[in-house]
Structure 1
C-alpha cells in the first residue's frame, strides 16, 4: 500500500510537476514516466524467492529512476530520506542522456564493489562509494548523509548484519571512521578506494 499523502508541489519548474515523498515511502510504480531526484536519497530494490531483499542501487540528487529503466520484477523504489522528485515524461527523456549514462556507470561501479574480496574491502569500498555520492565535508572527515542500517548494508553486500556490525567496529577501532548514532564519518586520510586493509 502506498501512502495517500503524496501531493504535487505548488511550484512548477519549467512546467514539470514536482512531488514530495516522506522517508520510507515507496514511489508509485509507473511505466509511463521517469522520476528525477531533486533532493534526498532513495534505494531501488527487489527480493528473491525466499523473501530476501536485494538492493539494486542507491540514488540521489540528479539521478533518474523509474520502472522503465529496469526489467527486474518486483521493482520498488524506497525513500531513504524525505525526497523531492520531478516527473520526466517520455518525450523529454532524450534530454537526460548524461543522467542515464551516469546511472549506468554508477550501477557498474556498485556491481564491481559487491564482488570484491575480502568482505572487509567490499564494505570499505562501499562506504567510500557512499561518501562520494552522499557525503559532505565535516571537520573530522566525510559524513555519509544517508543513514543506511547495518541490515540494509548487508543486503547490498551479500553478507550478514552481524558481519557488518563487527567490521564497522573494527574500522572504528583502527581510526578509519567515526560513528555517531546512525551516522558514519570516514576519516580523511583513509578515503582512497584503494586504501589497503589488513582484515
Structure 2
C-alpha cells in the first residue's frame, strides 16, 4: 500500500542511448529510479576534462540531490543504452520522506555506499599503479552489472576504453595498451564496447598485488 502511494507520484520516462537525463549544474527538478538500462554519471573538471563518477544499474535511485541538500545536480547523468526511469518531482521529496521514513533511510544507505565507493577509488588513485586501478574498475563493474556467459563474466552494458580511462584517471592510450595485453594473455575478451572477464580470479590477483615498480603510482 505504501509503495503504491509512492508510485502514484511518479511518471515513467524513456531516454534513448547517449541522451542526457540531466546535466551537471542544472536545477534538481526530479529524482529517479532506473527500471531498465544503464546510466553513466560524469563530472567535468574546471579544465574541461570528463570524469566518470559511477554507473547506475537497474533498481538504483539517482539524482536525489534534495536528499543531500543540493539545489542543483552535482553530475551529469547519461543513458549508455536505451533506458527507462521513474521520475518524481523534487518538490515531493520532503513530503514523501516525512510520510515514509524508510524511504529516507534507504536513500541515505545508498548514498553512504556510494560515498564509501568514492573513498575506495580515491585510495586506489593515490596508492596504486594504473594496471591495478584498471583491474579494480573492471572487477567493480562486473560485480555491479555482470552476467555469467559461457566464457566468463560479461559487463552487461556498453562501455568503451575511454570510459575506463575516465574512471581510473589515466589515458585512452594507456587503457588500450593494458586491455590489449590482457586480451592476448586470455584474461579478458573484448568487442565493440563489450568486455568479458575470462579470468576474474587472475584479475583479482593483479588488482591486489603489490606493484613491482619503484616510485609513485603511474599517473599516465
Please confirm whether the aligned pair reaches a TM-score higher than 0.5, indicating the same fold.
yes
Matches of 2:200 and 2:84, distance apart in 1: 34
Task: Report the Cα distance in structure 1 between the residues aligned to 2:122 and 2:161, rounded to whole angstroms.
Answer: 15
Q: 1:59 to 1:107 in 2, by over 3 A?
A: farther
Rg (Cα) greater in structure: 2
d(CA) in 1 for partners of 2:30 and 2:200? 42
Of 42-51 and 181-190, deviating more is 181-190
For structure 1, which segment, 67-76 or 38-47, has the greater mean C-alpha deviation from structure 2 after superposition? 67-76
The alignment status of 1:160 with 2:171, answered yes or no, reads yes
Instruction: Kindly state the Cα deviation for residue 192 of structure 1 after the two structures are TM-superposed.
Output: 6.9
Name 2:216's counterpart in structure 1: none
- Residues 1:58 and 2:30 aligned together: no
Residues 166 and 128 (structure 1 numbering): CA distance in 2 closer, same or farther, change over 3 Å? Answer: same
Matched, 1:185 2:183: no
Cα 1:162/1:192, change in 2 over 3 Å: closer
Query: Residue 116 of structure 2 corresponds to which residue in structure 1?
Result: 108
Cα shift at 1:181: 2.5
> Within the alignment, does 1:130 sit opposite 2:141 as a pair?
yes
Could you tell me which runs of 5 or more consecutive residues in structure 2 were left unpaired when the two chains were aligned.
1-5, 213-220
Output the TM-score relative to the length of structure 1: 0.81
Alignment partner, residue 23 of structure 1:
17
Greater share of helix: 2
User: How far, CA to CA, are the matches of 1:41 and 1:79 in structure 2?
Assistant: 6
Distance 1:153 1:69 in 2: 29
Q: Which runs of 5+ in 1 are unaligned?
A: 1-12
Higher mean alpha-carbon deviation, 102-111 vs 44-53, is at: 102-111
1:139 aligns with 150
RMSD over aligned Cα atoms: 2.6
